[in-house]
Structure 1
Amino acid sequence: MSLILCRQEPVKRPFYFEYLGIRIFSSQELSYVIYNHPLLVIDGFIDESLLEFIREDLDMAFFAAKLEKWQKSGEDEDELLAMILHECDYYSAAEVGRFRQQLAAFRRLPQSELLKEKADFLFLKKQYGKAVSIYLRIIDMARADRGSDGFTAKVYHNLGAAYARLFLMDKACKAYEKSFDLVRNEEVLKKICHLSQWNPSVIPGERFLTLMTEELKQICIKEREMANETAGKAKSLLELEDLFQKDPIKRFQGAGELVSKWKKEYRNIMS
């Protein structure tokens, strides 16, 4: 996967951005990634591999040397990111100014909240494996650094949601249980009920079985029925149905492309 913007440069070795699973082929694409994903570039983005890409593949040796010199002098990495945006000349000075303000706002957050913002963003990008690793980092932090019980409950809740997207249902259930223990949120209890109904092998702790009333179970059944109906109209399913309407040759070709697309999405989700 790569981005396509209006100017292409003769890049033979694109820069691979692991967080998004994409390859960057131009200075414009590099600017786009930095500007639109500040949470993913705020720490550790400018490293030797990026400097080599700027120096060798973008043919910007002088600028790469400048970045390297400023980096070694202990220059704020946020300033280096802004320098890249200025040098690539894809965004206006006003837009770069807004980017600086956004980074400054993130920097004011406690470390645990900054990590959660990053994990939540990865979750929205369907990078569930990467999100899980960051949620676990937050949970492993000392309690004083991690924040309130309410904040920790949100982390456990989102961890459970990420595990569920990875089909790790037992882990998802345990994460939801820990979230509920901290704040006793009824919506979290409902998700535990959903998991146990959807996958009978998932058995919640005994205390949760007593909390899941017949009324709650019936609500979950109705919600699942509605979800199944909605899933039947999903874009991916309609895409499959359209594929089977084609002649055998086009169907075979389309199936190969679709499987390849699904494989890439699966690798990004699991990594």
Structure 2
Amino acid sequence: MGLLLCTRCAQHPFYYEKLDINLWSIQELSYVIYHYPIMLPTDLVDRKLSGWIRDELHMGILAAKLEQYMGSGEGGELQERLLLMILRESNYYTQQEISYFETEYRRLRHIDRDQFYDLLGDAYFHMGRYGRAIEAYTESLHYQDSMLVKMKLGSACVTVMQFRRASDIFEQVFVETAAMEPLRKLYFISKLEPSVKTIEKYIDHIDTEMLADWELQYDNVLTQAEDSEHVRQIDDVYQRDRSEFRKEAKLWLVKWKKEYREKV
């Protein structure tokens, strides 16, 4: 995840382990707080963070205010007060946006465990951290059997090419609900990984018109992918110089493997 630096940049970043990112400014810290409240631990704002704000961002007044309030309580209410203080001092969000965050943060503090892990999975999926999304959706299903969460889990598995596991999940949802969407997912899995033939067991449930529509959807996505700028760049290198293409291919493979490992 890339964030924009807005004001003074720290010489040393604040590493936020849960998102596996380095934060370099008060605006970046505020961005994470505002957009990922479901991921915020109840002890995010501690003396380590206030020390970084003082020493690296040279915001001594804010650090002092935070530390003053740290001794006035504990738990979610105290953390809420500290988070709001950071959002206001960053001058990155409007008062209306901060009020929205306050309402949302309070709501999230009182949701059930299955909802918490479901939303956590959504946040990780949005970030492209599909492995962590899979873990969160799986944890959500430990608390409540939700067809919607199962569909999300299956989609996350497809994204990291766990086609067999995804197929088992979509098949289970279809058997339990008779909905057509899991069958559509199974059909696309069979196109991506022909060795997974689960869809063949249920082909009689799909009429000719629907099957033709799915085929058209798949062909359209394939055409868009083949016409992407990235594919055109690769093809250009291949057509121009095969020797250069082989060198570039090695670099692309290393890059793609790294990106895949980060996703899972």
TM-score range, shorter chain: 0.7 to 0.9
Other-structure match for 1:78: 80
Q: Secondary structure at the match of 1:115?
A: helix
Q: Shift of residue 3 of structure 1?
A: 2.2
- Across the aligned residues of Structure 1 and Structure 2, the Cα RMSD in angstroms comes to 3.6
Q: Secondary structure at the match of 2:222?
A: helix
Other-structure match for 2:25: 26
Could you tell me how far apart the structure 1 residues matched to 2:19 and 2:247 are?
27
Preserved CA contact (<8 Å) 1:243 1:255: no
Q: Shift of residue 66 of structure 1?
A: 3.1
Q: Secondary structure at the match of 2:71?
A: helix
Percent identity of equivalent pairs: 28
Could you tell me how far apart the structure 2 residues matched to 1:266 and 1:235 are?
20
Preserved CA contact (<8 Å) 1:122 1:128: yes
Distance change in 2, residues 1:38/1:251 (3 Å): farther
Q: Where does 1:12-23 land on structure 2 (aligned, <5 Å)?
A: 12=12, 14-23=13-22
Q: What is the CA deviation profile of residues 196-229 of structure 1, one whole-angstrom value per residue up to 9, with x for unaligned ones? A: 34323224288x4465557365554443323211
User: Which segment drifts farther, 234-243 or 77-86?
Assistant: 234-243
Q: Which residue of the other structure, out of 163, 169, 172, is the alignment partner of 1:169?
A: 163
Distance change in 2, residues 1:241/1:41 (3 Å): farther
Preserved CA contact (<8 Å) 1:55 1:63: no
Are 2:4 and 1:4 aligned? yes
Distance change in 2, residues 1:104/1:119 (3 Å): same
Q: What is the CA deviation profile of residues 143-169 of structure 1, one whole-angstrom value per residue up to 9, with x for unaligned ones? A: xxx2xx6xx111111100000000011
Q: Shift of residue 263 of structure 1?
A: 5.2
Other-structure match for 1:269: 263
Other-structure match for 1:232: 226
Preserved CA contact (<8 Å) 1:11 1:26: no
Corresponding pairs, count: 259
Distance change in 2, residues 1:102/1:166 (3 Å): same
Could you tell me how far apart the structure 2 residues matched to 1:115 and 1:240 are?
39
Q: What is the CA deviation profile of residues 130-155 of structure 1, one whole-angstrom value per residue up to 9, with x for unaligned ones? A: 110100001111xxxx2xx6xx1111
Other-structure match for 1:153: 147
Q: Secondary structure at the match of 1:91?
A: coil
Q: What is the CA deviation profile of residues 88-117 of structure 1, one whole-angstrom value per residue up to 9, with x for unaligned ones? A: 343343332222122234345433223222
Distance change in 2, residues 1:34/1:73 (3 Å): closer
Gaps of 5+ in 2: none
Could you tell me how far apart the structure 2 residues matched to 1:159 and 1:238 are?
32
Task: Identify the structure with bigger relative contact order (alpha carbons < 8 Å, sequence gap 6+).
Answer: 1
Other-structure match for 2:141: 139
Distance change in 2, residues 1:210/1:222 (3 Å): closer
Gaps of 5+ in 1: none
Other-structure match for 2:52: 53
Distance change in 2, residues 1:82/1:163 (3 Å): same
Other-structure match for 2:127: 125
Could you tell me how far apart the structure 2 residues matched to 1:114 and 1:11 are?
35
**TM-score, with structure 2 as normaliser:** 0.78
Could you tell me how far apart the structure 1 residues matched to 2:254 and 2:72 are?
42
